[in-house]
Structure 1
Amino acid sequence: MKHTLSVLVEDESGALSRISGLFARRGFNIESLAVGPAEKAGISRLTMVVAGDDHTLEQMTKQLDKLVNVLGVIDLSHIPAVERELMLLKVSAPAETRSAILDLVQVFRANVVDVADDALTLEVVGDPGKLVALEQVMESYGILEIARTGKVALERASGVNTAFLKVTASSKRVPA
């Protein structure tokens, strides 16, 4: 199972190296890593996506908590959270397919951020599933380049679990 960890750390040289080293020494691959300033000066938030079972990740969380620069660790995998990722996607767009691509851009609420004679660069922000879906749709047009950020996530202040709401809403639909 994939886990999303939110880690608050003091801004200090080597903090990221110590955290990534902890995972590497135990044979864990960090699938996604996003780091940036947190709400307080001198503190950064790391959002990491790692694979592993619940017990193993609980042990890793305890090890992270023991690191000097780590101020707190939350596993967002089992609690309501807002998750987003950014992707830039350069796609082949000759005149004969450009209008179809632009229609899809609107469906995915993406933005065109660069236009060339034979290519478009798209920007899309959303949950990771949305990015994968756009990538799959654009494959048939010819993907030239992709750049993705790591996932960023925060616990939902409202406590509302939107994944639960999606399942509940789909189960209430009347079959056609």
Structure 2
Amino acid sequence: MKIHQEIQERHTLAVLVDNEPGILARIAGLFSGRGYNIESLTVTDVSEDESVSRITIVTSASAHVMEQIIAQLDRLVPVHKVTDLTALGPHVERELALLKVVGTGDHRIEALRLADVYRARVVDATTSSFVFEVTGGSEKIDKFVELMREVGLIEVARTGVVAISRGKEAA
């Protein structure tokens, strides 16, 4: 007997919602109540009068489960539109991270060298620490964080993924 296991794929969703109290909690509850994990979540208002927000959610699921997630999100009353940017096709994803690195001597020199390679900017510096700002895809950020751990990383803050479709169509 073969057990059929669906392949989990990473998906980036753009969800347009009314900007009202509790909507984020309702969406997070929809995910957690059904055992779906949210890997990244960002929210911002996108209308001139601040009445509509865009929620960008990164999650991993099988094609079948992704259909269910989208259908359940579409059923929430304040949700205007749900777009699976991954299924839509080419899109741009970026993330920003701030990293605090402590060190002196060779560790300090290596931190600066790595920051240069990853095009990270120094946004704060003392004689014993740096705060670096780095932007790019999640994989780039993950690798930069991993390398900085070896030279004195003590703190990380990340924005989460923001994404937008390519071309003239809006999500």
**TM-score where L is the length of structure 2:** 0.87
**1:56 match:** 65
Residue 30 of structure 2 corresponds to residue 26 of structure 1 = no
User: What is the distance in 2 between the residues matched to 1:61 and 1:37?
Assistant: 21
**1:170 match:** none
Residue 12 of structure 2 corresponds to residue 4 of structure 1 = yes
Q: Is the 8 Å Cα contact of residues 95 and 118 (structure 1) preserved in structure 2?
A: no
Q: Is the 8 Å Cα contact of residues 18 and 80 (structure 2) preserved in structure 1?
A: yes
User: What is the distance in 1 between the residues matched to 2:159 and 2:26?
Assistant: 21
Alignment map for 1:106-117 (pairs within 5 Å): 106-117=116-127
SS of the residue 1:30 aligns to: coil
User: What is the distance in 2 between the residues matched to 1:107 and 1:82?
Assistant: 22
Give the number of the structure whose residues are more often helix, by fraction: 1
Aligned equivalent of 1:102, options 112, 116, 119: 112
**1:166 match:** none
How far did residue 99 of structure 1 move? 2.5
User: What is the distance in 2 between the residues matched to 1:75 and 1:21?
Assistant: 19
Q: What code does the residue aligned with 1:87 have? A: A
How far did residue 39 of structure 1 move? 4.3
Residue 92 of structure 2 corresponds to residue 85 of structure 1 = no
User: What is the distance in 1 between the residues matched to 2:54 and 2:61?
Assistant: 21
Aligned equivalent of 1:132, options 117, 120, 142: 142
Moved more, 61-70 or 103-112: 103-112
Moved more, 89-98 or 61-70: 89-98
User: What is the distance in 1 between the residues matched to 2:48 and 2:14?
Assistant: 15
> Cα deviation per residue 1:97-141 (whole Å; 9 max; x = unaligned)?
322221221211111111122211111011101101211221210
Aligned equivalent of 1:153, options 140, 163, 168: 163
Residue 43 of structure 2 corresponds to residue 35 of structure 1 = yes
Q: How many corresponding residue pairs?
A: 159
User: What is the distance in 2 between the residues matched to 1:97 and 1:18?
Assistant: 45
**1:174 match:** none
How far did residue 158 of structure 1 move? 6.0
**1:70 match:** 79
Q: What code does the residue aligned with 1:121 have? A: V
> Cα deviation per residue 1:45-103 (whole Å; 9 max; x = unaligned)?
10011121011011110111111110100111231111011111111221333222212
Once superposed, what is the RMSD of the aligned Cα atoms? 1.5
Q: Is the 8 Å Cα contact of residues 92 and 144 (structure 1) preserved in structure 2?
A: yes
